């Protein structure tokens, strides 16, 4: 099978994977949606039957339409609707950070035309700057870590070729524990109406920058805790995304991963040439690291004159 055929096979498998995921979502989410719809229609019918003499025709539908429209912009009719929780300073900072990290939670939406126009300009300028900053910070994180592991590997009896694997494993363990496991346990213990799966869902959707759903913690707390929760979320998004990108870059540079990508590539470069390029790149990266301290060489013994 040639490279072109392998490429089309990979594309066909990906499309099949998308179709399979869509079918699973339809099968798992369709019945609960129908049950919720029937329950809601039953409650509306019972409410209209109990208050038919007090409600003019269409009055309830108009009220529900206004409530649902406001809910779509993050304004809830439950509780105190006069609290400016969506666009105070803490919420505005969190919205800006979620925008620049491309997370985009759906709990808050822009209302004004001026805000929407500014959002387009702000994102157009901020996203490239965020990409440059993330690249610079990722290099500052990866280079010292690579040098540290390169110096520690000989002492642990590891070959230099295993240093990238060790780096990828260390970064993956950091992301899994510090940015997934610990935040999940904290959110599960602090958010009363969240299940363990809800906390895992929020962490995964945040780190992957998908941002689906309106799961945002700390919305119903006093102002001091609300500020702390928003600041903690902003730090979580920035640091978590930085470590995740560093992990993905390290994994993408592994020789086995590059070989797997090359298997589906249509490049005419031979595997021997590709391996030589990888070795030279690794040697170039290692040349910037300070060499590990070696024991002093024994003094040379003089030779007897003939």
pLDDT of residue 179: 92
DSSP codes, 5-68: HHHHHHHHHHHHHHHHHHHHHHHHHHHHHHHHHHHHHHHHHHHHHHSTTTS-TTHHHHHHHHHH
User: Mean pLDDT by 10-residue block, N- to C-terminus, for the chain (306 residues)?
Assistant: 76 85 85 85 80 71 71 59 62 83 74 83 88 86 84 79 86 92 90 87 86 67 74 88 89 86 66 46 48 52 46
* CATH of span 85-266: 1.10.287.70
pLDDT of residue 287: 46
Q: Which two tokens stand for residue 7?
A: 């490429």
Is residue 150 a contact partner of residue 127, using CB atoms and an 8 Å limit?
no
CA 50 to chain centre: 48
pTM to 2 decimal places? 0.64
| Sign of torsion over alpha carbons 49, 55, 59, 60 | negative
Is residue 102 a contact partner of residue 207, using CB atoms and an 8 Å limit?
no
Q: Which two tokens stand for residue 182?
A: 């610990």
pLDDT of residue 57: 66
Dist. CA 197–CA 135, nearest whole Å: 32
Dist. CA 19–CA 130, nearest whole Å: 33
Beta strands, E only, 101-181: none
pLDDT of residue 277: 46
Residues contacting 194, CB < 8 A, separation 6+:
187, 188, 202, 215, 217
pLDDT of residue 303: 46
pLDDT of residue 185: 93
């Amino acid at each position: 099978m040639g490279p072109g055929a392998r490429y089309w096979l990979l594309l066909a498998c990906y499309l099949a994977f998308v179709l399979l995921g869509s079918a699973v979502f339809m099968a798992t989410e369709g019945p609960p949606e129908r049950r919720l719809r029937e329950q809601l229609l039953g409650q509306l019918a019972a409410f209209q039957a109990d208050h038919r003499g007090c409600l003019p025709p269409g009055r309830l539908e108009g009220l529900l339409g206004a409530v649902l429209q406001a809910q779509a912009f993050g304004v809830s009719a439950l509780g105190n609707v006069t609290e400016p929780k969506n666009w105070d300073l803490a919420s505005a900072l969190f919205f800006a950070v979620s925008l620049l990290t491309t997370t985009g939670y759906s709990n808050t939406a822009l209302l004004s035309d001026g805000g929407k126009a500014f959002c387009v300009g702000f994102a157009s300028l901020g996203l490239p700057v965020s990409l440059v900053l993330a690249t610079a910070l990722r290099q500052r994180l990866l280079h010292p870590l690579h040098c540290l592991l390169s110096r520690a590997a000989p002492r642990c009896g590891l070959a230099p070729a295993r240093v990238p694997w060790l780096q990828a494993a260390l970064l993956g363990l950091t992301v899994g524990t510090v940015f997934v496991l610990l935040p999940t346990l904290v959110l599960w213990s602090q958010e009363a109406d969240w299940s363990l799966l809800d906390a895992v869902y929020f962490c995964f959707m945040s780190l992957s920058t998908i941002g689906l759903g309106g799961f945002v913690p700390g919305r119903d707390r006093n102002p001091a805790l609300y500020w702390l929760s928003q600041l903690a979320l902003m730090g979580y998004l920035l640091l978590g995304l930085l470590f995740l990108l560093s992990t993905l870059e390290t994994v993408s540079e592994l020789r086995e991963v590059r070989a797997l990508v090359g298997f589906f590539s249509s490049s005419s470069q031979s595997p021997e040439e590709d391996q030589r390029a990888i070795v030279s790149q690794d040697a170039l990266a290692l040349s910037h690291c300070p060499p590990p301290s070696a024991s002093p060489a024994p003094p040379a013994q003089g030779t007897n004159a003939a």
